[in-house]
Amino acid sequence: MKNATILLTGLLIVTTFLSCKSNADIKEYTPSNSQLYQTILAMDKTFFDAYNTCNLETQASIYADDIEFFHDEVGLMTSKADLIEATKKNICGKVTRVLIPGSVEVYPINNYGAVQIGYHKFYNNQEPDAESVASKFIAVWHLDNGNWKMTRVISLH
C-alpha cells in the first residue's frame, strides 16, 4: 500500500511538471473550487499557527496516523510520534513558518480530498537577521469523516 502511495505521489508530481511544456503553456492559477481552496488555506493556517506556537497536540490531530513526510534533506518519516518529537526537539521556539501570499494552489482529488502546492519561508528565531529563501511544499489532504488530515507532505528546499 505504501509503495502504491509513493508511486501515485511521484506520478502526480511528474505529471504536473511534464504537463508544463513551456512558459507560454502555463496559465495563471485559478481555483476550480473556491470553497475547497478556502478550506485548505484555513487548515494550513490552523496547522502552522500550531507549528509556530509549539501546539503539538493540534499538529498531531491534523497529521493522519499513516503520515508520510518526505523531506529533501532529512528523508522520509512515517511515524507520527517521531515527527511530533522531531518538531518538539528541532522546531519549537526555534523556527517560524510564513506562507508566501498568493503562492498556494489547491486541486481536488475525487473521493479523497485535495492536493495543496505552495511556497513558504522558515525563519530561524535564534538568528532574526538571517535571510530565508522560499521553499516549495506539497501536501496531500484527506477528508476523513468530516475532518481534514494531512496524509503526505513533501518539503523541498
Evaluate whether residue 106 is within a structural domain. Answer: yes
Evaluate whether residue 131 is within a structural domain. Answer: yes
Statement: residue 139 has pLDDT above 60: yes
- Taking the C-alpha atoms of residue 16 and residue 55, their distance in angstroms, rounded to an integer, is 33
Evaluate whether residue 109 is within a structural domain. Answer: yes
Evaluate whether residue 9 is within a structural domain. Answer: no
Residue 2 has a pLDDT of 56
- pTM of the shown model: 0.83
Evaluate whether residue 108 is within a structural domain. Answer: yes
Considering the chain, what percentage of its residues have pLDDT values greater than 70? 85
Evaluate whether residue 23 is within a structural domain. Answer: no
Evaluate whether residue 61 is within a structural domain. Answer: yes
Reading the block at residue 149, the C-alpha cell is 488530515
Residue 4 has a pLDDT of 45
Statement: residue 5 has pLDDT above 80: no
Residue 129 has a pLDDT of 87
Whole-number average pLDDT of the chain: 89
Statement: residue 54 has pLDDT above 90: yes
The Cα angle at residue 143 between residues 136 and 13, in degrees rounded to 5: 30
Statement: residue 16 has pLDDT above 70: no
Read off the pLDDT of residues 98-134 as tens digits, 9 standing for 90 and up.
Answer: 999 999 999 999 999 999 999 999 999 999 888 999 9
Residue 124 has a pLDDT of 94
Statement: residue 20 has pLDDT above 60: no
Give me the number of domains the chain comprises: 1
Residues 6+ apart with CB under 8 A from 83: 63, 67, 69, 77
Q: Output phi, psi for 54, to 5 deg.
A: 60, 40
For residue 91, the enclosing domain spans 33-155
CATH classification at residue 59:
3.10.450.50
Residues 6+ apart with CB under 8 A from 126: 94
